[in-house]
Structures are given as C-alpha cells and as structure tokens.
C-alpha cells in the first residue's frame, strides 16, 4: 500500500484505481487498530491526508468515466508520515511505462 501523492491526472488507470483502493485499505487498517508504522517509516503514507487524497483520486476517476460506488468510512486521522513526491515520480517512471509517458508529457 502506498500514497503516490502526485497529480492523479498523470496516473495510469492501474495506478489510479490501485491508489484509490489503498486509501480504503489504509482507513480499514486504522479502524481495525492495525499499525501503519512500517508504511509511515518508509514514506509511503501521510495519515492526515488520506481523506483528501481519496477525494482527489475519486474526482479523477469520475472525470475519466469510472464509477465510484463506495464512500470512504469515517476514521480518526492524525499528523504523521511524509511522502516525497519526487521519489514517487521517479518510482512511477521506473515501474510503469504508461505513467512514465504521462509524467513526461505533463
């Protein structure tokens, strides 16, 4: 699970839908009392931005014509974690040819 925190418009379909699902998974983990320490320590999530990020991803999904059917459950967030967007860009460019193209053309 990870939060890319880049402009959702540059994400390919797979990464857009994947990150959206992962925001739901983060909230589920928080609500079950599971630790996100490993994700926080590795710079993969900013806890306080999960809802905001979910909404950005949802809006991009709707813009692309995807259906968004499940609201994000309520959860208590706190200030912890830091995602480096520059690292996210580099990782996406390495992992995904479509995201790399979208990044380079943005």
Tens-place pLDDT, residues 15-39: 999 999 999 999 999 999 999 999 9
CA angle 104, 92, 87 (to 5 degrees): 100
- Given a cut of 90, whether residue 70 has pLDDT beyond it is no
Residues 6+ apart with CB under 8 A from 77: 30, 47, 48, 50, 51
Q: pLDDT confidence of 106, banded at 50, 70, 90? A: confident
Question: Measured between alpha carbons, how far is 17 from 22 in angstroms, rounded to an integer?
Answer: 9
């Amino acid at each position: 699970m990870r939060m890319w925190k880049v402009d959702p418009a540059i994400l390919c379909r797979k990464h857009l839908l994947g990150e959206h699902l992962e925001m739901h998974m983060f909230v589920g983990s928080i609500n079950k009392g599971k630790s996100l320490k490993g994700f926080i320590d590795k710079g993969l999530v900013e806890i306080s931005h999960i809802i905001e990020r979910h909404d950005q991803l949802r809006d991009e999904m709707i813009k692309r014509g995807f259906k968004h059917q499940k609201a994000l459950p309520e959860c208590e967030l706190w200030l912890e974690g830091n995602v480096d967007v520059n690292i996210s860009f580099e990782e996406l460019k390495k992992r995904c040819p479509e995201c790399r193209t979208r990044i380079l053309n943005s």
